[in-house]
Amino acid sequence: MAVFKRVPSDGQKGKVSYNPGIVNGIVHLAVSEVEGVELLGGKKKGLKIYFEKNGIYADISVIVDYGYNVPEVAFKIQQTVKHNVEAMTNYKVAKVDVYVECVDQLGERTAAE
């Protein structure tokens, strides 16, 4: 669990603790905001989050829907994850790696599930 100590301007002392599951949830929601993409194997398999000294590292495995520009979708995921995590927590995002595992032909994913 990561702990940030912060001294507010009014002099009161306190700390904010983030459960790693909170950051996982934020990343999962950020990926779900991007059109034409789905996490591989759901929330647990498609996400790996690492907390390092210089920031958060995220490995995200996705399935891209047929017809979407893969580099654009991957870049959009990186932007959205970085923005959401940094806006909602005190963490800095050091790196977001997006792994496109496959491109889904229309309807094949829903038929296989």
Q: What is the pLDDT of residues 94-106, one digit of tens each?
A: 999 999 999 988 6
The CA distances from residue 13 to 1, 4, 5, 54, 88, in Å, are: 19, 11, 8, 24, 21
pLDDT at residue 19 in the model: 80
The residue with tokens 């893969």 is 70
Distance in angstroms (rounded) separating the CA atoms of residues 69 and 85? 24
Which percentage of the chain shows pLDDT scores above 70?
A: 79
Instruction: Indicate the SS3 state at residue 7.
Output: coil
Domains of the chain, CATH where assigned: 20-112 (3.30.70.1350)
CB 54 within 8 A of CB 94: yes
Q: Three-state SS for 99? A: strand
Q: Is the pLDDT of residue 109 over 70?
A: no
pTM of the model: 0.78
- Give the lowest-confidence range in 14-23, 31-40, 46-55: 14-23
Distance CA 28, CA 31 (A): 5
When pLDDT is cut at 50, 70 and 90, the band that residue 31 belongs to is very high
